[in-house]
Amino acid sequence: MYFNRLSQIAESEVDARTSISASSRLHVSYKNIEVIVGLVDILVITFASVFGGALYQHFWSGQNTAIEVSLGVGLSEGLLYAYVASSRGLYRLPVLLSPSRYLGRIFLTWAIVSLFVAIFLVFLKGDALLPHGSIVASALLQISLLLLARWFAEKTSRSLMAKGSLPGRRVVTIGEPSELMRLSTAVLFRYFGMNEVVRVSLPAAKASSPDDVLVDLDRALHEARERGVDGFVLALRWSSKELLETVRERLRASPLPAHLLPDYTIRSVLGRRALSTNGPELSLEIQRAPLTTMERAVKRTLDILCASIGIVLLTPLFLLIAVLIKLDSKGPVIFKQRRNGFNAKQFVIFKFRSMTVQEDGAVVTQARRNDRRVTRVGQFLRRSSLDELPQLFNVLMGDMSLVGPRPHALAHDNEYKVLIAKYAFRHHVKPGMTGWAQVNGLRGETGRLEQMVERVKLDLWYVNHWSFGLDINILIRTCFEVLRNRAY
């Protein structure tokens, strides 16, 4: 019952109302607090090295050693200590919350690093510039301040947790009843850095049908989409091979990462090692996000920069097109229609109105060549793709990207996801104003199913092979593709 005991400990800590005035104004993520404590340790060791050396020289030796020497030694030792401590898991939240249980590890790590630096100084004859007494004084001050910093980190972490100001990764937990019963939300947060937003319990294997499992998984997907979570966490028995495969296949419809936690049997055998300070080593990433955090940041930066510049430069053209549309036919200037975006979450797409109808229901008829619904101004706008320009605002709002799979009307999405395998995978990235399929000849109407199948293949290739250079390549090729007037 080791895991249940941990749950009680963690829950009691969350309920604790230890607080300090400074923490009431802080809002630090689970991951960032580890980085902050590491930076504090670096500063503490550097400061102790400089101040301790200066203190010794002032009161005892009477010698004047250049402060640059103490600063360089202290900074080097601080960086090395932070690296070693991080690799040993000494900045993880369980350690920050209970530093007294890990004082031996902290002291041993600091002692080894300090001894290594001291030997290195002797080897380089650096001890001639830095007296032994100065080194000892700095060391005593370092360990004292390190322990004081850990005490402060404990108080701050507990206070932030009590106030709900220490958010972790928002997840949907999916599991079997027997596993979920032994997995508290407090343990999920403390040892895995996850804030459970929704818990979905799958029906017991003997008392359910495959359809019941799929219904619950679809509910999990819906909750993840609506609540904007960061991923899924699975609490399933590792011996449940069929159920694991079913869950894995269903979750592929979502672009969010999914992790499988060690089950109760494994936790019972390994005890504390199952939840070591080095992190959840036994958790398995059964699905990763299509783009890393850095890749998403790069792509988003390109979107914001180009969309902002485009809107500013094209504002006179926007006004001219708006006037022409109003003079040509009755109706609004902007056509709005619901589309599925990233993770199949709905958004409203903007276009210049090019037709006399504004369909957005269960049935949407694609525009065809010589379509009588297209207005005179609309014909020019569609051939030149100028009707798509208002989507720059969708890009700026974050609903779309400059490059990605083109979003389809909801009616077409509902039709094609049944007819085409892996169609839902197109929603693993944000939809785009242009895409890999469009610059490869599949722009405009896709009247035949074979055309849509080919477009989906190209879209999935883009999702699996994204790079910054590929986006630039597609944007350049789009400029030439528009001149061919294939759309109508």
Any domain includes 131? yes
The yes-or-no verdict on residue 150 having pLDDT over 80 is: yes
Q: Which residues of 74-83 are buried (b: 16+ CB within 10 A; e: fewer)?
A: bbbbbbbbbe
The yes-or-no verdict on residue 4 having pLDDT over 60 is: no
The yes-or-no verdict on residue 405 having pLDDT over 80 is: yes
Q: Is the domain of 439 the same as that of 422?
A: yes
The yes-or-no verdict on residue 365 having pLDDT over 70 is: no
Decide which of 227, 257, 287 is a domain's last residue.
287
Percent of the chain surpassing pLDDT 90: 26
Instruction: Grade residue 200 by pLDDT with cuts at 50, 70 and 90.
Output: very high
In this prediction, residues 283-303 reach a mean pLDDT of 86
Q: Is the domain of 276 the same as that of 346?
A: no
Are 349 and 394 in contact by the 8 Å Cβ rule? The answer is yes
Q: What separation in angstroms does the CA of 166 have from each of 45, 85, 173, 217?
A: 26, 22, 19, 29
Any domain includes 1? no
Q: Is the domain of 332 the same as that of 465?
A: yes
Decide which of 115, 143, 163 is a domain's last residue.
163
Beta-bridge partner residues of 355: 374
In this prediction, residues 7-27 reach a mean pLDDT of 41
Are 458 and 436 in contact by the 8 Å Cβ rule? The answer is yes
Q: How far is residue 214's CA from residue 234's CA, in Å, rounded to a whole number?
A: 15
Q: How far is residue 26's CA from residue 41's CA, in Å, rounded to a whole number?
A: 19
Contacts of 406 (CB under 8 A, 6+ apart): 431, 432, 434, 435, 437, 438, 455, 459
In this prediction, residues 344-361 reach a mean pLDDT of 83
In this prediction, residues 470-482 reach a mean pLDDT of 89
Torsion region of 282: left, alpha or beta (phi above 0 gives left; psi -120 to 50 gives alpha): alpha
Maximum average pLDDT range among 303-312, 335-344, 355-364 = 303-312
Decide which of 111, 131, 163 is a domain's last residue.
163
Residue 53 confidence (pLDDT) = 75
What is the pTM (predicted TM-score) of this model?
0.68
Instruction: Grade residue 367 by pLDDT with cuts at 50, 70 and 90.
Output: low
* Domain limits for position 262: 169-287
Dihedral over Cα of 79, 82, 87, 88: its sign? positive
Residue spans of alpha helices (H) in 271-375: 293-328
H or E element: which one contains 241?
Answer: helix 241-251
Any domain includes 355? yes
Residue 479 confidence (pLDDT) = 86
Are 366 and 455 in contact by the 8 Å Cβ rule? The answer is no
Any domain includes 150? yes
Q: Is the domain of 177 the same as that of 99?
A: no
Any domain includes 96? yes
Any domain includes 32? yes
Q: Is the domain of 109 the same as that of 249?
A: no
Q: Is the domain of 340 the same as that of 472?
A: yes
Any domain includes 19? no
Task: List the CATH number of the domain containing 175.
Answer: 3.40.1360.10
Angle between helix 132-163 and helix 2-15 axes, rounded to 10 deg: 80
More confident residue, 287 or 40: 40
Q: Is the domain of 159 the same as that of 183?
A: no
Q: Is the domain of 466 the same as that of 385?
A: yes
In this prediction, residues 181-200 reach a mean pLDDT of 83
Any domain includes 21? no
Q: How far is residue 348's CA from residue 25's CA, in Å, rounded to a whole number?
A: 37
Residue 375: CB atoms within 10 A of its CB come to 20
Q: Is the domain of 81 the same as that of 159?
A: yes
More confident residue, 217 or 411: 217
| Residue 195 DSSP code | E
Q: Is the domain of 355 the same as that of 464?
A: yes
Quote the number of domains for the chain.
3
The yes-or-no verdict on residue 480 having pLDDT over 70 is: yes
In this prediction, residues 365-378 reach a mean pLDDT of 75
In this prediction, residues 102-130 reach a mean pLDDT of 80
Q: Is the domain of 133 the same as that of 157?
A: yes
What tokens were used for 456?
Answer: 């989906």
pLDDT tens profile 59-104: 665 565 567 777 888 898 999 999 999 888 888 887 888 888 888 8
Q: What separation in angstroms does the CA of 48 have from each of 34, 72, 141, 143?
A: 21, 12, 6, 9
| Backbone phi, psi, residue 434, to 5° | -140, 170
In this prediction, residues 284-305 reach a mean pLDDT of 88
In this prediction, residues 368-380 reach a mean pLDDT of 79
Residue 90 confidence (pLDDT) = 87
The yes-or-no verdict on residue 369 having pLDDT over 70 is: no
Instruction: Grade residue 446 by pLDDT with cuts at 50, 70 and 90.
Output: low
The yes-or-no verdict on residue 125 having pLDDT over 80 is: no
In this prediction, residues 238-256 reach a mean pLDDT of 87
Are 409 and 337 in contact by the 8 Å Cβ rule? The answer is yes
Q: Is the domain of 378 the same as that of 431?
A: yes
The yes-or-no verdict on residue 311 having pLDDT over 90 is: yes
Question: Rounded mean pLDDT of the chain?
Answer: 81
Q: How far is residue 285's CA from residue 258's CA, in Å, rounded to a whole number?
A: 6
Q: How far is residue 475's CA from residue 198's CA, in Å, rounded to a whole number?
A: 39
